Structure 1
Amino acid sequence: MHLTTKEEKILDGEEGKAKQKSMQILAALGDIYNADKLIPVTSAHVSGVSYKTIGDAGLEFLDDFAKDAKVCVKTTLNPCGMDLKNWKKQKIPVNFAKKQLKIIDCFKRMGVEESYTCVPYLTTNRPEFGEHISWAESSAVCFANSMLGARTNRESGISALASAIIGKTPNYGLHLDENRIAKVEVRVDARLNSTRDYSALGYMIGKKVGTRIPAFKFKRSVTEDQAKALSAALGVGSCGMFQIEGVTPENAADIESRISINDGDFNDYLKNFTFNKNKKKELIAVGCPHCSLNEIEEIAGLLKDKKVKKDFWICTSRQIKKLADERGFTEIVEKSGGKILCDTCMVVTPVEEIAERVIVNSAKAAYYLPGLAGVEAGFTDLDEMV
């Protein structure tokens, strides 16, 4: 990969250790993927924020990196391992909290925005069409490429942070026009009625298409919240972008294969997610990806004048929580016995400390919870959860 004179100097360490390490990471990626050059990015979104996922080794790396690292573009953070203001009420172990706060301090020292959400496009980091960005968090990558027409590869937390420090990313993959062409047409005749349904569809199709871009044809228009659920589940696999006829801003296609999904196909697939409803200590958790204001309003409507019988979490960003407070939704949720958590989600927090089974309406959460937390996951509709 070609480097400019200035980039070569950074690689040689003339602008400090952190910039040198960042350039080494980007140069290595560029060489691996045959990028021709580095291109400027307008923003970065960094994952690997929870102590649960990066551990002591990750904390040590960040602490060393933060000694002279500063981001030079708008940079937001993925959820961390706890609600930073209410971690005691969340029953987070003290040692975990101490380590998590050290990680947060590292990112603060680097100048990263304290967003702690997997849906930065709903808060302060919503790129415009055609912008080149460097984002980690597979669900956000898929949404940004597809619904917004921004351009990013599926970055790791480290490569996104390196881009944030240098302000550039290697020019390959989904940054290039020729790699943003749909190859698989997906005709959906099945009736999809809920977030759970779009999430299940995304997981189903993600397994079938791999790295290829699917072009969906739905019978009805798709809302942003439904597309958010679809993005998250598609991102569990290798898919980094999709198209929806009449919805997404890009629709270039060279169709090589076709998939049709009818009610029978879809209902048969949902049977894979049935779970044994024997007595276990359960947590109900919504918000993977983080809930939008509309979703919190819907949940508040379902919980109004009711009392929850189990721990009930709604995970969202600080900005959305503030709006929910102002509109009275938080009061309704809390009156029912539920909790709205910020900064974290059921996947990256130590949920195993309080539950043996977590009931979710997210295929992504259902996929990751058993491996990351060692708990059973139940996947169902929001109506059934309430």
Structure 2
Amino acid sequence: MPSTPIRLQGRSLVEGAAQGTLLFADVGLSFWGGVDPATGEVIDRHHPLSGESLAGRVLAIPSGRGSCTGSSVLMELISNGHAPAALVLAEADEILVLGVLVAEVIFQRSLPVLCIGREAFEGLRGQGFARIEGSCLTLSGRRPNDQWYAADIPSQPLAPSTVRLNERDQALLDGAYGKAAKVAMGIVLRMAEIQGADELLDITQAHIDGCIYTGPASLRFAEQLVQWGAKVSVPTTLNSISVDQRQWRELGVDPALGEPASALGDAYMAMGAQLSFTCAPYLLDTAPTVGEQIVWAESNAVVYANSVLGARTQKYPDFLDICIALCGRAPLAGCHLDDQRKAGLIVEVPKLDSTDDSFYPLLGYHIGSLTGRRIPLIRGLENAAPHLDDLKAFGAAFATTSAAPLFHIAGVTPEAMDPAHVQDHPAQLPVQTLDGAGLLASWRELNSARHRHVDVVSLGNPHFSLSEFAALARLCAGRIKHPDVVLAITCGRAVLEQARQAGYLEVIQVFGATLVTDTCWCMLGEPVIPPTATTLMTNSGKYAHYAPGLVGRGVHFASLAECVEAACTATASGEPPQWLQPSAAKGNPSHV
């Protein structure tokens, strides 16, 4: 390591001073599902920092990725003393920054966040110690022997806002609409400045992801807004909460989780949000249309809204979503703008032979891992005719491994029916050509189980649609699951009633399935997952990624039909599907 300190200048996203051992990774990290909010341990078992503690260290990552709830997890860590000393990023990340800003407002605690750019970031590899003072980053091989204290560094006052405000915006900021709206507008403006927006826009609806319980801090934030008189100013739906509010006691959930998680949902409804509790708001009657300006959080919902519906939203962090819902105004930046919805990468998918429904989540997971923050234009599926459930599964897995809020599929998604509309300079775009070997490697990454036995079959991540219930009913008809296997499905209340009226639930319940509403598999644990269970099976690329860290079980990832078969036999094949067998993956680009 060098003996002479290295000094770099960056862009301070959150002012401050801190120092600590440098913890470096060249892969983005989703704080939700990737970091334990109570301890600061990295629990994403696919991440190079798995098992490391973030507490008190200077964390250097390219950016966040995955869930919008990362802001809530970071706020929890700041409030309970297990946060990193500072964050150093290659690219600005609104989700992580927002967690720090809310911690400042609610807990008067903060940490510096510095963006240094991609080229400088690569130079952090192998460094041992880091010190941040405002926009300056100093690197050294070991802790210096000087008597340095962060408290000795004067804080920098916030510069006056450069965002243009209309008369109502100014009234909100001045407190004319109450304290909650005043605080919310202040946070919206700070994020607008970070995003480079010089004005705000009206939005027609919001979807709130901050109703997921990550710990005491998330509940304190919501209840503080209620005490300050918060009321949403646009139609607002709620994401899945952390428990089935109607039957968490019957499911055996510990009251230490059930009570605050249910109270968190109640707090957001007290602000005027609708009782929807679904991670798939695009399945509701209120789903937006092409070109509609909205504010949605929940990563899979954001990607679906932008890509499949053609609506316009950023990948909004938890807490910024409710702040915008209170104001009805959002920064005019990112995917709200035409030029920010263009492709930054072309992905070529090889010609397909016969596949099953595990193809699209696997493809989304694999492409997401290649894109980073770039929006991909995917070519090669023009004649594949993916249906909406395929695109839902693709988008959820894509949002797990990518930081991008949008994808285009040539000839399929609305803005890419003519691919020229999403390409400014197609000859200059990098091209990534997929092959079977790469997809097979991603399949193996998702299949973490060490033996073929199956204890639990997990369906509904994202929440099941009516057409998925129809497909499951056909597969379950005339069959009974194995008595030692739990098959559980999560869905929204509205879709559950539709499935009941269509006659699908009777068949599925005779089969032996458990139906859970309001919450999702990313929040479920014991005892819905029996304590003795060691292995799960799912058709969700998203859950196959997160489950090893969230619930400590190995996972089999497969098609819906294979999941039903495993529920009957308590056994998984453990083999890739026929269309992905190694013989087809060895250098033959015409087969996937």
Partners of 1:191 and 1:263 within 8 A in 2: no
Is structure 2 residue 314 aligned with structure 1 residue 139?
no
Counterpart of 2:341?
Answer: 180
Partners of 1:215 and 1:242 within 8 A in 2: yes
| TM-fit CA distance, 1:187 | 2.1
> What is the number of residues matched between the two proteins?
384
Partners of 1:79 and 1:118 within 8 A in 2: yes
**Secondary structure in 2 aligned to 1:359?**
strand
Counterpart of 1:385?
Answer: 563
Of the structure 1 ranges 278-287 and 152-161, higher mean CA displacement relative to structure 2 is found in: 278-287
Q: How does 1:163-202 map to 2 (within 5 A)?
A: 163-189=324-350, 190-191=352-353, 193-202=355-364
Of the structure 1 ranges 58-67 and 271-280, higher mean CA displacement relative to structure 2 is found in: 271-280
Partners of 1:50 and 1:349 within 8 A in 2: no
Residue by residue, what CA displacement relative to the aligned partner does 1:131-177 show, whole Å, maximum 9, x if unpaired?
A: 11111011111111111111100001201111111011000111111
Is structure 2 residue 452 aligned with structure 1 residue 287?
no
**Cα RMSD for the two superposed structures:** 1.9
Of the structure 1 ranges 2-11 and 28-37, higher mean CA displacement relative to structure 2 is found in: 2-11
Counterpart of 2:411?
Answer: 246
Q: So what's the TM-score if we normalise by structure 2?
A: 0.62
CA distance in 1 between counterparts of 2:269 and 2:354 reads 42
Is structure 2 residue 321 aligned with structure 1 residue 157?
no
Partners of 2:365 and 2:442 within 8 A in 1: no
Q: How does 1:253-332 map to 2 (within 5 A)?
A: 253=423, 254-255=425-426, 256-278=429-451, 282-309=455-482, 310-332=485-507
Counterpart of 1:126?
Answer: 287
Counterpart of 1:341?
Answer: 516
Counterpart of 1:376?
Answer: 554
Q: So what's the TM-score if we normalise by structure 1?
A: 0.94
Counterpart of 2:540?
Answer: 362
**Secondary structure in 1 aligned to 2:414?**
coil
Counterpart of 2:180?
Answer: 18
Of the structure 1 ranges 26-35 and 373-382, higher mean CA displacement relative to structure 2 is found in: 373-382
| TM-fit CA distance, 1:277 | 4.6
CA distance in 2 between counterparts of 1:50 and 1:271 reads 30
Of the structure 1 ranges 326-335 and 357-366, higher mean CA displacement relative to structure 2 is found in: 357-366
**Where does the alignment leave 5 or more consecutive residues of structure 1 unmatched?**
none
Residue by residue, what CA displacement relative to the aligned partner does 1:333-385 show, whole Å, maximum 9, x if unpaired?
A: 11111122211111112347624433211111122223333333332222222
**Secondary structure in 2 aligned to 1:220?**
coil
Residue by residue, what CA displacement relative to the aligned partner does 1:225-261 show, whole Å, maximum 9, x if unpaired?
A: 1111111111112021111122222131133122222
Partners of 2:447 and 2:555 within 8 A in 1: no
Residue identity (%): 32
Match 2:192 to one of 8, 23, 30 = 30
Of the structure 1 ranges 5-14 and 305-314, higher mean CA displacement relative to structure 2 is found in: 5-14
Greater helix proportion: 1
Change beyond 3 A, Cα 1:192–1:83: farther
CA distance in 2 between counterparts of 1:323 and 1:181 reads 37
**Secondary structure in 1 aligned to 2:537?**
strand
CA distance in 2 between counterparts of 1:23 and 1:164 reads 10
Change beyond 3 A, Cα 1:140–1:192: farther
Counterpart of 1:229?
Answer: 393
Partners of 1:333 and 1:340 within 8 A in 2: no
CA distance in 1 between counterparts of 2:412 and 2:557 reads 27
Counterpart of 2:373?
Answer: 211
Partners of 1:304 and 1:336 within 8 A in 2: yes
CA distance in 1 between counterparts of 2:279 and 2:526 reads 18
Letter in 1 for 2:355: N
Change beyond 3 A, Cα 1:87–1:279: farther
Larger Rg: 2
**Where does the alignment leave 5 or more consecutive residues of structure 2 unmatched?**
1-162, 417-421, 565-592
**Secondary structure in 2 aligned to 1:250?**
helix
Letter in 1 for 2:502: R
Match 1:85 to one of 246, 251, 254 = 246
